[in-house]
Structure 1
Amino acid sequence: MLGILAGGNVWTTDMGTVAAAEKTAQESIRLSDSFVRPDYVEVEKLRDTKQIIVITKKDMEEKGYKSISDVLKDQPSVNVGATGWGQVDIRGQGSDQATRNIQVLVDGAPITTMVNHPLPNNYDYVPVEQIEKIEIIPGGGSVIYGSGAAGGIINITTNLRSLQKPRSSVNTEWNSDGYRASVNYGTKVGNKTAVQAGFARLDRDLFFVNTYRKSNYAYGGFRYDADQDHSLTFRYSHLDEDSKFLQNVSRWKIDAYGHNYRPDKNSDYLNGDRKLDTYNLSYNQNFGTKLKYSGDFFYTDGYYTNTKFFDGKMKTKSYGSRMRLDWAYGQNDSLLLGVDLFEQESHLKYKTSARSKLMDFNYDKTTEALYLLNKMKRGRLTYTQGLRREKLIWKFDKDGGTAARPIGGVDSSNRWNTAGELSVGYNYSDWGKVFLRYERGYTSPDGLQICDEVYSDRSRKVYAATDAQEERYNLWEMGLRDKWGASTVSLTLFASETNNELERPYFKGAYGWEYKTYNMYNTKRRGVETSFSQRLGKLRLQEGYTYLHGRRDYTAQGRALMAAHGENEIDFTNSGLKAVPQHKVLLTADYKFDKQWSVNAKYTFFGKYNNFIKESDRHEDGNIVHSYGLLDLGFKFQQNKDLTWYGGVTNVLGKDYYEYDSAGGATATLVPGAERTYFVGMNYKF
């Protein structure tokens, strides 16, 4: 099956069996016209001229993933944790950029972090057992999704989209760090209504002593099909998580104590509690055979902590809709009209100690957008043209500083942006296709960058809306998919340029030190993404490789600032992109002994990367984070059509590595990677 390693591809085609052992090695591979279809019409429109990774429920079940982060780590173009705890980086955005240059959605609702300081977060909001599919659009997608698509889109789909086929199952897994279990029950009520509900529990020990993650997840939903042209789906879920962890620990402490390290004070542990309630409503209606409407309406409300601060809690809320109208105006032509209307809020109150001043930061972001995506087919050629016009309204109300020197401010910023794309795909054979694609997109400032911290006079500091402009990027892509001999292949070459990348430096102004956001950099990124797959009798092999490289230079504004303030006063890079591994390799092998037994192996190689930001900081072994490789082994036993057993060992060789390394040298702070882990699990469907 053609596809990005460990997942699928919307160009994916089913591969026929190659009876190499029983017949002859010359027999050709039979490919059908089927592919893994996305659940959203807007993603479907992109598939002919864009590589899209699709990880199905079956993929996740067979590979024993524990979390969404685990799923993402298995994609060659994705790195998790290299730029910071919980952060996801697609296509080498690098430190300080990764969190702003992706969008993460659950059933169409945005859950992307609005502001990542001072409380970071990850996206493990939904247990993998409750996920039907994860679609990843590497690089681009700004016409459909707007700001933040430079790195890519992660669209997580729960069983909201499959409630018309309710399923019942019991899942349980034990591993050397804890356990997880879930139960799902679904049934039909008459011919038109289906209902489903479920519960999942996770209990895991983390790396250091007295650290853990415990979560409970419950959901319920229904689908009502009035007739073949009208359907209504509703789903509610609740996540309640309790955890305690250590985020960054000094290298010398890990070397001295390992797992047994504990902070001097119990209060230095990070409190990772979080809750999230989500409400999703989806309505679909066909107006004849040529006009189709689909609308997703959502409301989410929750909070996360991830801090040791006294009473630190980031409250989040989002609500709104994404509506699409798909018009088939010709036999092979269609026009998609989309409207996005939604609002996101974040509210943070915390103290650094019981006696310190209460910090109170409030952010509000409203998105109003209209987009068009036209698709035409002419013989072997497919063309797409897209345009998006978006109004973004940022508001903030911040009260910070200290009791002696408070800093406050209420302000707003209205921003209009336009994105566009052009692409062409050519089917040069029954199985072969090439495409060319251009996109012009943008990334808006995040909650921290939208707000400058400056002096209004000699004695008073205030928060004020920044004058910095949106980042604008140009993205060029060339892709291919085909069958070469006994192998299917997927290849993408890309180049992007952001000519006004944002930074929020700390400069000394006329009255003192200030934080201001500037369009500081011109950043270029280049990359290659490849995937190969072979099925040889009972053996299936997959190989994936990604190469990433970037360079950053100053804009005219950046050079003027550096000339005015002095190069030694601030650390900025002219030495490539920080925390971007140049190479990542994934190799997997699956061997099926018979209809019941199979084994699998996976090797993942993470290339080295730099963590220095000036050439003068380069030294022999200090700020280079070294490469490492991980080997995982697993098995699967299909006892009958309803009962499956699985198990395995992750990090078989017991490799010591770090998911995050702040500097690479002796003074670095680290996030250790998982050690060797054993697991065994069961899935029963009824």
Structure 2
Amino acid sequence: MNKKILIASLILSSLSYGTEDFFYEESEKGVKLKESVISTTGFETSQRNIANTVTVITAKDIEDNNYQSVSEALKDVPSVNVIGDPKNPIIDMRGQGVKANANVQILIDGVGANLLDTSHAKTPINTVPIENIEKIEIIPGGGAILYGNGTRGGIINIITKSGANYNGASISSELNSFGGKKGEVSYGTTVKDLGINLNYTKNDYKGFRDGDESNSEFFESGFKYKLTENQNISLKYSRYEDKATSPRALKKSQLDNPESNGLFTKYDKLLENNVVKNEVNGRYDYKINEKVSLDLIAFYQETEIEDTNDYGVDFAGKLIAKTNNMNFTDKKIGFKPKLKVSYGDENNVILGYDYINNSLTRNSVMNMMSSELYKNDLTKETHSIFVLNTNKLNKFEFTQGIRYEYADYDIKRGYTKSSLSTGQISSKTNIAKNSSMENMAYEVIGNYLYSDTGNVYIKAEKGFTSPAPAQLVDKIDGAYIENDLESETYLTYETGFKDYFLGSFISGAIYLTETKDEITTDNFTGMNFKNYNIGKTQRYGLELNAEQYFGKLTIKEGYALIKTDILKDSDKSIEGNEIANVPNNRFNIAFDYELNSKINLILDTIYSSSYYLNNKNESGKQNENVVTNLTVNYNPIQTLRVYAGINNIFNEKYYDSISADGNEFNPAAERSLYTGFKYNF
């Protein structure tokens, strides 16, 4: 608690400084307001006109802080909670907990990256090398009109770099004290109206614990061609391949050796996770005239994931080997045209259509006393239309939005069980189901631009999370059966502001989200389960961000308060409890000091409060933690940057995750060092 008070006092004291205490550079005033954001409308919009507490992590922020992955960069944002293994985490906003896979949309260049299976597979967020990112736009809460299903927690749009208008190449390398090493080369050139870029990244990752390793390669090629003064077309292909192992969780009695790989029986093996992702994105933008603009995205994604989990289990007093193997192939194809039309003096309307065909095959094999084979062939095809209209009268903007989404489901699930001793099939069940579902989303926003630098807004949004195909089937007494599951619906009320005040750029919001028909899953013995709508939850909170510019010193602060309540559930014992895996408080403070024209130092501290491990609010809590990092950048010449840093300076002991029963722990990384360079030529 003393740590919390210390960090809070630092934030409050920073916010209290005025122009009379430090020299404030007036030119910085326009930087944040003019910073463009794409994700809120699908077209470039300045921060000045956005009714949201948007956080933008720029390429310069990434380089200055020497972030190693997308998830590492997101950890420094208080409104984002990174849950679990840093290599493949769950990314949460506004208190979704482990259901964030379905309720926070991760986009790459405006295209959704979430997988169709939201229960067994996490969104592979670290498939884009951090060096290849132009910026990351973080929009907590909302986005249902533009992005449809599953935006209750918000959206994160990872925008990659383009080779257009760039001539040159770069090479970089890095080493860390755990033994990891990474190298990257990129090349871009522009010939008349054609821009071409190539990028290759090799990452030999090694983490804090024994066996926490991965070996990944990323390749991307793309071009952008200027057809006319007002028309551009671009095409990008990327491939990511990763082979990773992870240590097993530790029991409480084993925590005196947190670096251990957790292999304690003769049958235990490291967890294996292999990922291959191929992606093709095309884009066409055409400014037809001063009042009409067209934007069209077409895409194809294919993600293959293989998980292997071999371990020993005590069965009737005898140690027996158990094997779990799960293979996913997730394919997504679609296109998203948008038309922006300006009319009157300062009014505009955005019209859009989205088509996405997302298919998944999942095969699972489990062996112990018997062999169980599960086969899934699932497809969800969606058609959506939306309208987002904005009217401006003097200093007041009024925005209205509506979205209609039609989803068509095709579901095939099969299950076979056979004895390992006799090979005889003892049970077999299959199901094939076709169904459809319709959903609507609505949004109303009032935004008052009361000064040249300030605005205050209020908005209401109704959105939805439609079921994943696998959730439309239950398994009872070994047989698959259909259910009548419906979409979750939510209503969010939010008010916020942004302005320059006493030499500080400040933005903030308070919100309340109420969800009904929340999907509940009951798991029974024998791999039986049931999905149904009975849940009702409430989430509310506060978000604040601030920046000050004092000559050579920049200070950034952020704070997120999240409170959650389970109002209704099939398990009456958890009603009134908090949602698991949601810290009530997160805040950070970062000092960026330019020592001279060649050296700058960044000291960053992030605090996370404790949280419950399960919805019963039993079995203990994840401990609160304060993690401080230091990085130093040295530019001896304009084209060369050499850097070094220390992560977790004070060697804070905490966990990436703790099991729901509080008996298994995955220790987080302790203090580590890194160094590297980047050369541009």
TM-score, normalising length from structure 1? 0.88
Q: Tell whether 2:639 aligns with 1:642.
A: yes
Question: How do 1:125-164 residues align onto structure 2 when only pairs under 5 Å count?
Answer: 125-160=127-162, 163-164=164-165
Following TM superposition, by how much is the alpha carbon of 1:623 offset from its aligned partner in structure 2, in angstroms? 1.5
**Aligned to 2:61, what secondary structure does the other structure show?**
helix
Equivalent position to 1:505, from 515, 522, 526:
522
Matched, 1:422 2:444: yes
Residue 535 (structure 1) shift? 1.3
In structure 1, what is the Cα distance between the partners aligned to 2:679 and 2:261?
38
SS of the residue corresponding to residue 114 of structure 1 reads coil
Distance 1:463 1:247, change over 3 A: farther
1:282: Cα distance to partner? 0.6
Would the aligned equivalents of 2:634 and 2:642 in 1 still touch at CA under 8 Å? Answer: yes
Q: How many Å apart are 1:261 and its aligned residue?
A: 3.6
Partner residue in 2 for 1:31: 29
Displacement of 1:209 in angstroms is 2.0
Counterpart position of 1:462: 480
In the alignment, which residue of structure 2 is the partner of 1:381?
396
Question: Among 573, 576, 579, which residue is 1:577 paired with?
Answer: 579
Distance 1:28 1:407, change over 3 A: same
Letter in 2 for 1:504: T
Distance 1:141 1:109 in 2: 13
1:685–1:30: structure 2 CA closer, same or farther, 3 Å change rule?
closer
Q: CA deviation at 1:118?
A: 3.8
Q: Structure 1: which amino acid aligns with 2:668?
A: G
Q: Which amino acid aligns with 2:398?
A: Y
Aligned length: 638
- Counterpart CA distance in 2 for 1:27 and 1:311 is 58
Contact residue 207 and residue 259 of structure 1 kept, 8 A: no
Output the CA distance in 1 between the equivalents of 2:26 and 2:161.
37
Q: 1:247 to 1:535 in 2, by over 3 A?
A: farther
- Range with greater deviation from structure 2 (38-47 or 357-366): 38-47
SS in 1 for 2:372: coil
- 1:572, distance to aligned residue in structure 2 (A): 4.2
Distance 1:490 1:275, change over 3 A: same
Q: What residue identity is the alignment partner of 2:29? A: L
Structure 1 residues 119-149: Cα deviation after superposition (integer angstroms, max 9, x where no partner):
4454111110111111111111101100100
Question: Residue 478 and residue 184 in structure 1: after superposition, are their counterparts in 2 closer, same or farther (change >3 A)?
Answer: same
Aligned equivalents of 2:340, 2:583: Cα separation in 1: 40
- Other-structure match for 1:185: 187
Superposed, 1:30-179 pairs within 5 Å as 31-32=29-30, 35-39=34-38, 41-42=41-42, 44=44, 47-81=49-83, 86-95=89-98, 97-120=99-122, 122-160=124-162, 163-177=164-178, 178-179=180-181
Gaps of 5+ in 1: 1-17
The one-character-per-residue Cα deviations of 1:354-384 (angstroms, maximum 9, x if unpaired) are: 9713221121111110000011211111111
2:556 maps to amino acid: Q
One-letter code of the match for 1:461? A
Match of 1:683 in 2: 678
Task: Give the Å deviation of 1:425.
Answer: 0.8
**How far apart in 2 are the matches of 1:414 and 1:606?**
41
| Cα distance, 1:652 vs structure 2 | 0.7
From the superposition, tell whether residues 245 and 180 of structure 1 become closer, same or farther in structure 2 (CA, over 3 Å): same
Task: Indicate how the Cα distance of structure 1 residues 119 and 19 shifts in structure 2: closer, same or farther if over 3 A, else same.
Answer: closer
1:325 aligned to 2:327?
A: no
1:138-537 mapped onto 2 (5 Å cutoff): 138-160=140-162, 163-177=164-178, 178-189=180-191, 191-246=192-247, 248-256=249-257, 258-259=259-260, 261-265=262-266, 268-308=269-309, 309=323, 311-353=325-367, 356-400=371-415, 402-403=417-418, 404-454=426-476, 461-464=479-482, 466-506=483-523, 515-537=529-551
Cα deviations by residue, 1:257-296 (Å, 9 ceiling, x for unpaired): 6435434346631111110111111111121221111111
Closer/same/farther in 2, CA of residues 402 and 61 from structure 1, 3 Å limit: same
Contact 1:551/1:577 (<8 A) preserved: yes
Preserved contact between residue 166 and residue 195 of structure 1 (Cα < 8 Å):
no
Q: Separation in 1 of the partners of 2:231 and 2:566?
A: 51
Contact 2:565/2:576 (8 A) holds in 1:
yes
Q: Relative to structure 1, is the Cα distance of residues 211 and 391 closer, same or farther in structure 2, using a 3 angstrom cutoff? A: same
Which SS does the other structure have where 2:145 is aligned?
helix
Cα distance, 1:445 vs structure 2: 1.4
Query: Which structure 2 segments of 5+ residues have no match?
Result: 1-17, 310-322, 419-425
In the aligned structure 2, how far is the partner of 1:210 from the partner of 1:499? 42
Query: Given the alignment of the two structures, is residue 663 of structure 1 paired with residue 660 of structure 2, yes or no?
Result: yes
Matches within 5 A, 1:613-652: 613-614=615-616, 617=618, 622-652=619-649
Per-residue CA deviation, residues 17-48 of structure 1 (Å, 9 max, x unaligned), is x9978xx7598676237522124652646952
Counterpart amino acid of 1:326? K
Q: Equivalents in 2 of 1:250, 1:591: separation in Å? A: 43
Query: 2: CA distance between counterparts of 1:613 and 1:573?
Result: 9
> After alignment, is 542-551 or 352-361 more displaced?
352-361
In structure 1, give the amino acid aligned to 2:666: V
Which one-letter code corresponds to 2:42 in the other structure? E
CA distance in 2, matches of 1:26, 1:192: 41
Task: Specify which structure has the higher proportion of strand.
Answer: 2
Distance 1:607 1:126 in 2: 29
The answer as to whether partners of 1:208 and 1:261 remain within 8 angstroms in 2 is no
**After alignment, is 446-455 or 317-326 more displaced?**
446-455
Find the aligned partners of 1:589 and 1:649 in 2 and give their Cα distance.
Answer: 15
Alpha-carbon distance, 1:347 to partner: 1.0
1:28·1:485 contact (CA, 8 Å) conserved in 2?
no
CA RMSD between the two structures: 2.5
User: Shift in Å at residue 117 of structure 1?
Assistant: 3.8
The CA distance in 1 between the partners of 2:451 and 2:333, in whole Å, is 45
Deviations 1:465-523 (A, max 9, x none): x3121111000111111122122211111111002211011469xxx995222212221
Instruction: Please give the alpha-carbon distance, in whole angstroms, between the structure 1 residues aligned to 2:28 and 2:219.
Output: 43
Change (3 A) 1:100 1:611: same
Counterparts of 2:624 and 2:117, CA distance in 1 = 30
Give the conservation status (yes or no) of the 8 Å contact 1:380–1:428: yes
Separation in 2, partners of 1:27, 1:652: 31
Deviates more, 1:410-419 or 1:163-172: 163-172
1:5 aligns to what?
none
Give the counterpart letter for 1:685 in structure 2: N
Contact 1:90 1:98 in 2 (8 A): yes
What aligned pairs does 1:589-604 form with structure 2 within 5 A after superposition? 589-604=591-606
Letter in 2 for 1:53: T
Q: Distance in 1 between matches of 2:199 and 2:23?
A: 48
Distance in 1, matches of 2:391 and 2:269, equals 59
Q: 1:621-665 deviations in whole A, cap 9, x for unaligned? A: x42222111011111112222111111100011111102112374
Identity %: 27
- Contact (CA 8 Å) 2:115, 2:121: kept in 1 or not? no
C-alpha contact (below 8 Å) 2:53/2:543 kept by paired residues: no
